[in-house]
Chains A and B, each alone.
Chain A
Amino acid sequence: MEPRITGKVFVLGDNIDTDQIIPAEYLSYNPALPEERRQFGRLALSGVPLAQSGLPKGNCRFVQEGKFKTDYAVILGGKNFGCGSSREHAPLAIAEAGVKVVVAEFYARIFYRNSINGGYLVPLETPSRLVEQFSTGDEVEVDLAAPAITNRTTGKSFALSPLGQAGPIILAGGVFEYARKTGLLAR
């Protein structure tokens, strides 16, 4: 993982549940098959009601029609990001679309585990609410080491919460690598 992620930010509100991240009708695609796994990038965040997609204005698609990758580098959300079902397809879809860092006030537990145990995303948390400080399309930089997020469009910088106990699993790249590193699994 690059220590600094730069690019455009995609802003969402509170309680973005896994049905909004990847609607259930697409769960028959099997991520174990590369051609089907690709589809999740195309479909990422396609369940978000358009008015709430890409705040503050909304009506903004995360992935353009016909594309498999997003033009955005970072997702910024509010409270309880990833609530709802346990589908690992949710962080996987975001990662397939090309986003490796999500910043939110806090996460639903299973989404958080899936993000780090599957090695898809770095789920960073914000000590205060940032959703109103960013507009979709603003240029941002996320410094994973600090950790911090800077809005290059407005010039404002915000400290993010340390990764804490999950840090070693994120740095290892997921639960399997972590277990191998710590000797629980044979290499």
Chain B
Amino acid sequence: MAMTMTEKVLARHSGAKSVVAGDNVWVNVDVLMTHDICGPATIGIFEEEFGKNAKVFDPDKVVIVPDHYIFTADTKSHRNLEILRDFAKRHQIRYFYDADFVKGEGVPKPYLSAAQTAFKGVCHVALAENGHDRPGEVLIGTDSHTCTAGAFGEFATGVGNSDAAFVMGTGKLWLKVPATMRFDFVGPVPPYIMGKDLILHTIGLIGTDGATYRAMEFAGEALMSLNIDERMTLTNMAIEAGGKNGIIAPDALALAYVRGRTKKSFEPVFNDADASYFSRTTIDVSKLEPTVAQPHSPDKAATARSLKQVKIDRSYIGSCTGGKVTDFIAAACVLKGRTVKIDTYIVPATTSVDMALDAVKVEGQSLRQIFQAAGCKIGPASCAACLGGPADTFGRANAAINVISTTNRNFPGRMGSKEAGVFLASPLTVAATALTGHVTDPREYYSGAKAVGLVQ
């Protein structure tokens, strides 16, 4: 029976020879990820259902990544970190990336360097960087953007606390095998186009419910010409079209990335030649324009050019989908030697991205120097204002302002105030807009010869 990658992973993990879309299967989970806002409740359900002294199914397969509410004075958020610490200690969780600098009251002082803290930052990028994303595996997380890990050819999806508690106790989860919608990106990638443009365009085509209950597979030579950061931008946002998972076949680049970060063996899977798809769509990337999703929905796509009259009060570059090294290189290419006209926030996804702000240079200057000289505000690694968070969160929109952001979601209230309007765009577009105060096509400020995210 011919299968898609998604079907193959689920077949292998359910002990079935083959599965077809629509089958309900119990799968064995390779990695369960939770964080500071869903972890405490997950632990509560786990202890209620399995008993206070129950053991997790495998302490090496439960990965705990505090990342959401870290740099806040909110005492309940501090308390939630304590719950995670206590749990990690009692269960000897091997991969607990503690925000160990959070001690006592008030807004914690950030880590000084990545080397001095166990903290990593935003879970989806941290999972990849630390070798937890592996081809052919099943990764379940208490966060809707867990689908990011599909960039490495695995089945990864977000669940709630009850499902996570169930996995914590049993290592298993029931899943309905999704049919696959395949998107082939073809043509050369123009210099001004990024992964974010590809996915915003795609969501604009099919809508925020266009892939509900389905797998979104991204393929094609244009996509595969982009680096890992860029591919993760696409799989991250499968959920914004309602997708259960996003997936990309692992090529030599992806396999080398993973092998460089884990000693664990894994077995990649690939589509059978005659696998059947729910739908196939081909998108000619050479014809795309810089794309913006307007408030209040990720599917309200328009060209940046057509929104020139829209006044913007704030630019924000950060999050699991838009706070990776490539995202900051893109922003730096636009901002170098220029000054921002509106408040511009820079939030690296992880401590390792934060360190890259110093290590990576564009035309002789570090990313950090470029951002500082341009007048940006730079914060420590975390989810920060992507999801609003406590009122004292760095970059949170606390009033009825227009924000242009590299994040992934713009429903009402997503970045704080429900009166704020959030526009989603690539870091090139967000940086160009930072220079003008109105939605700006990056072609006005970026004239590089090739796409920022192309594999070097």
Complex CA–CA separation, A76 to B392 (angstroms): 34
Complex CA–CA separation, A15 to B79 (angstroms): 33
Complex CA–CA separation, A29 to B68 (angstroms): 13
0/1 per residue, A87-120, Cβ < 8 Å to B?
1110000000000000000101110011001110
Tell me whether A117 and B162 are in contact in the complex, defined as CB-CB below 8 angstroms, given that A86-B38, A86-B142 are known contacts. Answer: yes
Complex CA–CA separation, A19 to B413 (angstroms): 7
Asked whether A47 lies within 8 Å of B26 as measured between CB atoms, the reply is: no
Q: Which residues of B contact A36 (CB under 8 A)?
A: 76
Q: Which residues of B contact A79 (CB under 8 A)?
A: 209
Q: Which residues of A contact B38 (CB under 8 A)?
A: 86-88
Complex CA–CA separation, A17 to B387 (angstroms): 12
Query: Which of A4-12, A147-155, A174-182 lines the interface with chain B?
Result: A174-182
0/1 per residue, A68-97, Cβ < 8 Å to B?
000000000001100111111100000000
Tell me whether A25 and B390 are in contact in the complex, defined as CB-CB below 8 angstroms, given that A32-B43, A85-B143, A106-B212 are known contacts. Answer: yes
Q: Which residues of A contact B413 (CB under 8 A)?
A: 19-20, 23-24, 47, 49
Asked whether B411 lies within 8 Å of A80 as measured between CB atoms, the reply is: no
Name the residue of chain B whose CB is nearest to the CB of A23: B413
Sort chain B's interface into a size bin. 35 or more
Asked whether A32 lies within 8 Å of B41 as measured between CB atoms, the reply is: yes
0/1 per residue, B126-170, Cβ < 8 Å to A?
000000000000000111101000000000001111110010001
Complex CA–CA separation, A165 to B174 (angstroms): 12
Q: Does A30 contact B (CB under 8 A)?
A: yes
Complex CA–CA separation, A184 to B49 (angstroms): 14
Q: Does B242 contact A (CB under 8 A)?
A: yes
Q: Does A27 contact B (CB under 8 A)?
A: yes
**Partner of B208 from A48, A49, A83 at Cβ < 8 Å:** A83
Q: Does A185 contact B (CB under 8 A)?
A: yes
Asked whether A25 lies within 8 Å of B391 as measured between CB atoms, the reply is: yes
Query: How many whole Å from B50's CB to the nearest CB in chain A?
Result: 9
Interface of A is mostly: loop
Asked whether A15 lies within 8 Å of B387 as measured between CB atoms, the reply is: no
**Size of the chain A interface, CB-CB below 8 angstroms:** 43
Query: How many whole Å from B36's CB to the nearest CB in chain A?
Result: 8
**Partner of A24 from B40, B79, B389 at Cβ < 8 Å:** B389
Q: Which residues of A contact B48 (CB under 8 A)?
A: 32
Q: Does B186 contact A (CB under 8 A)?
A: no
Asked whether A85 lies within 8 Å of B144 as measured between CB atoms, the reply is: yes
Q: Does B336 contact A (CB under 8 A)?
A: no
Asked whether B159 lies within 8 Å of A113 as measured between CB atoms, the reply is: yes
Asked whether A165 lies within 8 Å of B411 as measured between CB atoms, the reply is: no
Name the residue of chain B whose CB is nearest to the CB of A17: B411
Complex CA–CA separation, A19 to B161 (angstroms): 17
Q: Does B117 contact A (CB under 8 A)?
A: no
Q: Does A31 contact B (CB under 8 A)?
A: yes
Q: Which residues of B contact A30 (CB under 8 A)?
A: 40-41, 44, 76, 79-80, 83
Query: How many whole Å from B297's CB to the nearest CB in chain A?
Result: 6
Complex CA–CA separation, A174 to B165 (angstroms): 12
Asked whether A110 lies within 8 Å of B144 as measured between CB atoms, the reply is: yes
Enumerate B14-55 residues with CB–CB distance to A below 8 Å.
24, 26, 37-38, 40-41, 43-45, 48-49
Asked whether B242 lies within 8 Å of A83 as measured between CB atoms, the reply is: yes
Asked whether A118 lies within 8 Å of B161 as measured between CB atoms, the reply is: yes
Complex CA–CA separation, A23 to B418 (angstroms): 9
Query: How many whole Å from B390's CB to the nearest CB in chain A?
Result: 6
Q: Which residues of A contact B418 (CB under 8 A)?
A: 20, 23, 47, 49
Asked whether B411 lies within 8 Å of A176 as measured between CB atoms, the reply is: no
Q: Which residues of A contact B77 (CB under 8 A)?
A: 28
**Partner of B37 from A28, A114, A184 at Cβ < 8 Å:** A28
Q: Which residues of A contact B26 (CB under 8 A)?
A: 184
A27, A36, A106 pick with most chain B CB within 10 angstroms: A27
Q: Does B110 contact A (CB under 8 A)?
A: no
**Partner of B414 from A19, A89, A108, A118 at Cβ < 8 Å:** A19
**Partner of B41 from A24, A49, A89 at Cβ < 8 Å:** A89
**Partner of B143 from A80, A86, A184 at Cβ < 8 Å:** A86
Q: Which residues of A contact B44 (CB under 8 A)?
A: 30-33
Q: Does B316 contact A (CB under 8 A)?
A: no
Asked whether B389 lies within 8 Å of A109 as measured between CB atoms, the reply is: no
**Partner of B174 from A49, A89, A175 at Cβ < 8 Å:** A175
Tell me whether A80 and B209 are in contact in the complex, defined as CB-CB below 8 angstroms, given that A15-B411, A32-B44, A87-B38 are known contacts. Answer: yes
Query: How many whole Å from A24's CB to the nearest CB in chain B?
Result: 4
Q: Which residues of B contact A176 (CB under 8 A)?
A: 49, 162, 166
Complex CA–CA separation, A109 to B144 (angstroms): 10
Q: Which residues of B contact A119 (CB under 8 A)?
A: 162
Name the residue of chain B whose CB is nearest to the CB of A180: B49
Tell me whether A15 and B166 are in contact in the complex, defined as CB-CB below 8 angstroms, given that A28-B77, A49-B412, A89-B41 are known contacts. Answer: no
0/1 per residue, A129-145, Cβ < 8 Å to B?
00000000000000000
Name the residue of chain A whose CB is nearest to the CB of B412: A49
A residues contacting B by CB (< 8 A) are: 15, 17, 19-20, 23-25, 27-33, 36, 47-49, 79-80, 83-89, 106, 108-110, 113-114, 117-119, 165, 174-176, 179, 184-185
Given A24-B37, A31-B41, A88-B160; 10 other pairs, CB 8 A cutoff? A24-B414, A86-B142, A87-B37, A88-B38, A108-B212, A109-B244, A110-B158, A114-B162, A117-B166, A184-B26
The 10 A-B pairs with the shortest beta carbon distances in the complex, nearest first, are: A32-B44, A88-B160, A114-B160, A28-B76, A86-B158, A118-B162, A17-B411, A86-B144, A80-B209, A88-B161
